[in-house]
Amino acid sequence: MVQDLYPPLEPFATGHLEPDGLHHVYFEQCGNPEGQPVLFLHGGPGAGCAPVHRRYFDPAHYHIVLLDQRGCGRSTPNGELTRNDTWQIIGDLEAIRKRLGLEKWVLFGGSWGSTLALAYAQAHPDRIKGLILRGVFLATHDEIDWFMHHMGRFFPEAFEEFFSPFTESDSDNLLDFHHRRLIDPDPEVHIPAARLWSAFEVKCSTLIPNPEAVAQMDDPDTALSLARLEAEYFRHGMFLEEGQLLADLHKISHLPAIIVQGRYDVICPPQAAYRLHKDWPGSELMMIPDAGHSASEPGIVKGLVSATETFKSL
């Protein structure tokens, strides 16, 4: 069984989708052009893809497709909220699939990427061969409230910084307060707000502190797309009905699924992954005993690569 990431690789093709005259959506193809198609869905929303994300898949077997979703990464405009929601992104995914001439593909998504994978699969079940999900997020009010108000039970120092600009005189709730600052047109307001939000999330995402990951949030474009889009999506319940993903699970319950979940995931606690597994006959749950949320943690890497090896047989 392969346990480590595959060696670095470069795309054999890149492209842009221009769905509406505003957004330019970057996508790339790696691995085997004649191989089994798999779509990588990054987290956030707004986190974008990185070269390491190509390496969860055997490039000799898989036709690997990655994209930077609207408003982040190499897609432009960065941090743009206009016409940026779950259903617009699902439309982008279908447009890319059709452009590449792919009949069906495997979905591979973590955190927000797991949310998007479930919503996309339920909208287009006939185009999906199976799902590999990590750090499951079902987009419920409770999960959003946990992120905003309760992760600090485990990371009180990080939450103290996240909460520090908020005062008793502020009339907004904490989410609206941060959102208002993140959409402020003045960079002197929205850049510090973005760095604060993004640093809070990254500090809570690993079992062992990762200063390098936190330092990456100093980049203003990276921090802004992540923080602004997350706050916007949170305020709209990820543009999904409450409980929708479990209510519509019957649409995809015939598909194979492997769920990789860190036991000590504070960003997306294991309850959601366990509930999804219990409601999904035939799904496999890999509860990683020594991992938090991040896809880069050794146990999570091992589980995800193992899952892509298993799905070679589809």
CA distance 194 to 179: 10
CA distance 135 to 205: 10
Q: Which long-range contacts (CB under 8 A, 24 or more apart) does 212-220 make?
A: 213/294, 213/296, 220/187, 220/191, 220/194, 220/195
Order of all β-strands in the sheet with 25-31: 13-17, 25-31, 62-67, 36-41, 105-110, 128-134, 257-262, 284-288
Give me the catalytic one of 58, 92, 248, 265.
265
Using alpha carbons, list the distances in angstroms from residue 38 to 18, 32, 171: 22, 11, 46
- 126 catalytic residue (yes or no): no
Torsion-angle region of 166 (φ positive above 0: left; ψ -120 to 50: alpha; else: beta): beta
Give me the catalytic one of 114, 190, 293, 294.
293
- 265 catalytic residue (yes or no): yes
For 18-169, list the strands marked E by DSSP: 25-31, 36-41, 62-67, 105-110, 128-134
Give me the catalytic one of 111, 114, 198, 205.
111
CA distance 141 to 32: 40
Active site residues: 111, 265, 293
